[in-house]
Amino acid sequence: MEHRIYFIIGDILSVVCTGAAVSMVCLALTPSDWNMFLAMFAGMAIGMITALVISAAIFVRYFGAMEVMIPSMLTGMLTGMFISMAATMINPSYSASACFGVVIGLITLFSTYFLNKDITKTQLNIR
Amino acid sequence: MDTKTRNKWDRASKTFDFMTGTGAVKRWEPVKRELFSHMDGKILFLAVGTGLDIPFFPPDKNILGIDISPKMLAIAERRVNNYQGNMEIDVMDVHDLAVDDNFFDQIYTSCTFCSVPSPVEGLKSLHRVLKPGGEIFMFEHTGSHYFPFNLMMNIMTPLSRQVGPDMNRKTVENVQKAGFTDIKVSNVYLDVVKTIRAKKN
């Protein structure tokens, strides 16, 4: 579990920015007449790639590698899936999509913190 | 010498410190300092890169640092000169180590086996040059056993491999396949970033 405030702020900043950016990219790129499931898979891929590019280009340098990339990519994957599906059904606004991306990012980050606390307790010994 | 890998890391040397010299180094500093605090005897440090880990080495140790990329080592030189102990660096490929059998007391790696093209062969090579009873200490990132992290990392590896490391390596299993025993694995971040300690019998 990360306790250093600099890295906690960095983790939050990276998922919030990634969630907002991915949602807007996916909304812009998904045609509203697409099949919902096709849009979902396309959104997943676009979201992950966008998240990887944003985290590698901006946040990795300042806040760490895997600890930044994994929550960001998961945020990108989930946000991309939901927003691209939504684009074919309800055509949400850019601001609502960005807010949704931010919320997904924060949920993802705190889920990984919680999971990380549990996983890092264990030590594996192989004879 | 694997020229494809050497060229990849020669190219990466231009931006390596810029990309990883602040965030990852600071984030992992406490864990690496603890891992390196075990340094003793004749030590091989594999893939020393631009030497970002050298400030975390305890002083007065006897270390040979190797890397496949001469351009990485050229940047590392300043950090090697500042080290308060006996440290030399050399260009070497882990698959083709110009070192006698059973030579080193300890071997250290730091984010290395995400990039070695044939990891089991590389680890077997390290096993050869380690003395019986010697230990290998690794700080590595690997693939995950947990969904959806494993799915993401499998999808992204073909991309990440083009510019740097694989994201889905099974390094603990590879250490076992190479013949090391008494393997102790401590997770640092999820089951992705971890330290591995293992022995040669």
What stretch of H or E contains B132? strand B130-141
| Beta-ladder partners of B51 | none
Q: From first to last of its 127 residues, what are the pLDDT tens digits of chain A? A: 678 999 999 999 999 999 999 999 999 999 989 999 999 999 999 999 999 999 988 999 999 989 999 999 999 999 999 999 999 999 899 999 999 999 999 999 999 999 999 998 877 777 7
Strands of B104-110's sheet in order across: A123-126, B181-189, B193-199, B130-141, B104-110, B42-46, B62-67, B86-91
Give the ipTM.
Answer: 0.87
Residue-level pLDDT at A126: 77
Below-70 pLDDT ranges, chain B: none
Question: How many CB atoms within 10 Å of residue A64?
Answer: 25
What pLDDT does B55 receive?
Answer: 95
How confident is the model at residue B77, as a pLDDT? 96
- pLDDT in the model for residue B35: 97
- At a CB cut-off of 8 Å and minimum separation 6, what does B100 contact? B129
C-beta of residue B193 within 8 angstroms of C-beta of residue B169? no
Domain range enclosing B32: 3-199
Look at residue B169 in the predicted model and tell me its pLDDT.
Answer: 92
Measured distance CA(B3)–CA(B107) in Å, rounded:
24
Residue in chain B closest to A77 (alpha carbons) equals B152
Query: Which residues from A are below 8 Å from B when comparing CB atoms?
Result: 6-7, 10, 48-49, 52, 56, 59-68, 70, 73-74, 77, 112, 115-116, 119-120, 122-127
Instruction: Provide the domain count of chain B.
Output: 1
pLDDT for B162 equals: 78
Closest approach of B192 to chain A, Cα-based (Å): 8
CATH of the domain at B16: 3.40.50.150
Residue boundaries of the structural domains of chain A? 7-107
